[in-house]
Amino acid sequence: MQKVLDFIFQEKVIFPVIIIVVALILVKILKFIVKKIFSKTEKNYIGKKRTTIMELVGNVLKFFVYAIAIMMILEVYGVDTKGILASLGIAGVVLGLALQDTVEDLMSGISIILDNYYVIGDTIRINDFTGEVIELSLKSTRVKGANGEIYIFANHLVDSVVNLSQARAGIKIDVPTAYEENTEKVETILRKIVDEVKKIPDVYDDSEYLGVDALDTSAVNYSIMIYCKSTEQYKIKRIVLKMIKEIYDRENIKIPYNQIEVHNGKEII
């Protein structure tokens, strides 16, 4: 037992363990401090950008703490860290050439944040993939699609990206209505629906009733245009369609639909 304790409390055993534990604790403390500084409750663009910067600063601090911990552990084992640091200049040039893509990733990660390409929480479209940015580091970006799939790409590959969160969407909804329905009544109802839709969060005030859009073979198509935050357009469209259906049912306004007659091989009289 004494031999075991003597081995454990050797300088080359106990010191590295202490250094590792202190490094882990320090990383947690630094992340907590960074979170307190940057974390706010805003859910707008500035709030999301603050969250992204918080993640980035946390990752950089973690890297430096672990790097210092490794150097201290090497010192314990008698490794000349000063020589290592001196040779890092030459090694840096070699690594810069060998790891050119990685260096580009790091520079691109900084550029993405500073130039406001996107931040955590934004919905973006890149390489025909659309999803929400869930993680942004200096090296890569993770985007979560609508079906839960995760798309990971290196930052230096971002040459063109569409940020859907920084744009607004226009939703044109055609409402087929029976010819026999009173036009003035229908238009009044649709204008009221648009006014109600404007009260929904993320819907803009310039949403409007457009008018009669087409005289179809079996219906009059009335049109409304809803302007909203691009990331909410599908949800808003579902809400508006439900409102139209419920109000049409309540007002006994008919929406024409195709019907099929099926006969069981009998002659029609």
In the β-sheet with 220-229, what is the strand arrangement from edge to edge?
A: 168-177, 220-229, 208-215
pLDDT tens digits, one per residue of 105-164: 666 776 776 666 777 778 888 878 888 888 877 678 888 987 888 888 887 777 778 877
Choosing among 1.10.287.1260, 1.10.3720.10, 3.40.50.1970, 1.10.230.10, the CATH entry for 7-98 is 1.10.287.1260
| pLDDT score of 201 | 86
User: Where does the pLDDT of residue 173 fall: very low under 50, low under 70, confident under 90, or very high at 90 and above?
Assistant: very high
pLDDT tens digits, one per residue of 4-59: 555 555 666 677 788 888 888 888 888 788 777 766 545 545 555 566 667 777 77
Q: Does position 184 have pLDDT exceeding 90, yes or no?
A: yes
Cα atoms in the 13 Å half-sphere on the side-chain side of 203? 20
Q: Does position 96 have pLDDT exceeding 70, yes or no?
A: no
CATH number of the 167-250 domain: 3.30.70.100
Contacts of 48 by beta carbon, 8 Å cutoff, 6+ apart: 119, 120, 121, 122
Ramachandran class of 143: left when φ > 0, alpha when ψ lies in -120 to 50, beta otherwise: beta
Where in the chain do CATH 1.10.287.1260 domains reside? 7-98
pLDDT tens digits, one per residue of 187-240: 999 999 999 999 988 888 889 999 999 998 889 999 999 998 877 888 899 999
| pLDDT score of 62 | 82
Distances (CA, A) of 92 to 23, 71, 80, 107, 140: 25, 17, 18, 15, 21
Distances (CA, A) of 177 to 169, 189, 237: 25, 12, 18
| Count of CB atoms situated within 10 Å of the CB of 67 | 11
Where in the chain do CATH 3.30.70.100 domains reside? 167-250
